């Protein structure tokens, strides 16, 4: 199997119709995977770096929030460290909105929106300082990624990306782990495929450059994640 290029195969999660029970099992198991394999730590590491450079950044938009677990991590981090952050999440799936709202009901600095991010108003986007994407970009084609990044740059937002490093060790590791421990057909299929749809460092740099970003940092972190911070 070659890992020289990104796979174009679609994940089950990208289908228009998904059984709710299957989706919710997928979201629950992804939460466990992110907790155990450092997915949340990667996003928090990037956020801490951004906030350290400027105390005036206050509003974050999380694209493709899924189960809302990363937004929850951001909210609890802000509370512990006395950061005054307001968090928005946008996801195109209504069932994700319903699931996440139940999980986040006790947190008051979060607002979730069911929409395509491209349909958000210019007035709304003017208040956003940071756009965060965790395990979202790999669902898109290269052209779609560049279009989304241009959208972020036009709206003068810092972009924080947490996504997968495409390589054979990450692929076979998650394939074995999910085969042994997962009860979700979506996770068993999509987790290894997500790695095949992931990125090499130079590919990420090129995608951001093609979108017009010049100030881009890419950092590898465990487990097989890239943290990208791009400033307009």
Q: Among 3.40.50.150, 3.40.50.2300, 3.80.10.10, 3.90.1170.40, what is the CATH number of 38-162+206-231?
A: 3.40.50.150
Domain ranges of the chain: 38-162+206-231
- Residue where the block lists tokens 């996504």: 163
d(CA 35, CA 22): 20
d(CA 153, CA 207): 13
Report, in angstroms and rounded to the nearest whole number, the Rg of the chain calculated over CA atoms: 17
Which pair of tokens denotes residue 62?
């999380």
> In the prediction, which pLDDT does 53 show?
83
Low-confidence ranges of the chain (pLDDT < 50): none
> In the prediction, which pLDDT does 54 show?
78
Burial profile 185-221: b = 16 or more Cβ within 10 angstroms, e = fewer: ebbbbbbbbbbbbbbbeebbbebbeebebeebebeeb
> In the prediction, which pLDDT does 219 show?
98
Which residue from 38, 45, 103 is spatially nearest to 74, judged by alpha carbons?
Answer: 45
> In the prediction, which pLDDT does 223 show?
94
Which residue from 191, 142, 187, 138 is spatially nearest to 163, judged by alpha carbons?
Answer: 138
- Contact 197/204 with Cβ under 8 angstroms? no
What is this structure's pTM? 0.96
Q: What is the pLDDT of residues 54-113, one digit of tens each?
A: 777 799 999 999 999 999 999 999 999 988 999 999 999 999 999 999 999 999 999 999
């Amino acid at each position: 199997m070659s890992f020289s290029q990104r796979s174009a195969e679609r994940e089950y999660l990208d289908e228009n119709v998904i059984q709710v029970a299957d989706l919710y099992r997928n979201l629950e198991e992804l939460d466990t995977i992110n907790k155990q394999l450092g997915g949340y730590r990667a996003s928090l590491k990037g956020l801490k770096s951004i906030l350290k450079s400027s105390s005036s950044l206050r509003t974050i938009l999380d694209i493709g929030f899924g189960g809302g677990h990363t937004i929850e991590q951001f909210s609890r981090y802000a509370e512990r460290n006395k950061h005054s952050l307001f968090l928005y999440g946008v996801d195109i799936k209504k069932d994700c909105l319903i699931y996440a709202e139940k999980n986040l009901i006790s947190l008051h600095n979060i607002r979730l929106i069911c929409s395509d991010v491209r349909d958000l108003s210019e007035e709304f986007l003017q208040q956003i300082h940071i756009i965060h994407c965790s395990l979202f970009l790999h669902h898109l084609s290269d052209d779609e990624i560049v279009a989304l990044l241009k959208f972020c740059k036009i709206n003068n937002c810092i972009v924080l990306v947490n996504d997968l490093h495409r390589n054979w060790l990450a692929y076979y590791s998650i394939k074995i782990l999910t085969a042994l421990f997962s009860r979700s057909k979506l996770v068993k299929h999509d987790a290894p495929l997500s790695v095949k749809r992931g990125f090499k460092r130079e590919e990420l740099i090129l995608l951001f450059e093609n979108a017009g970003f010049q100030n881009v940092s890419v950092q590898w972190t465990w487990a097989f994640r890239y943290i990208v911070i791009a400033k307009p």
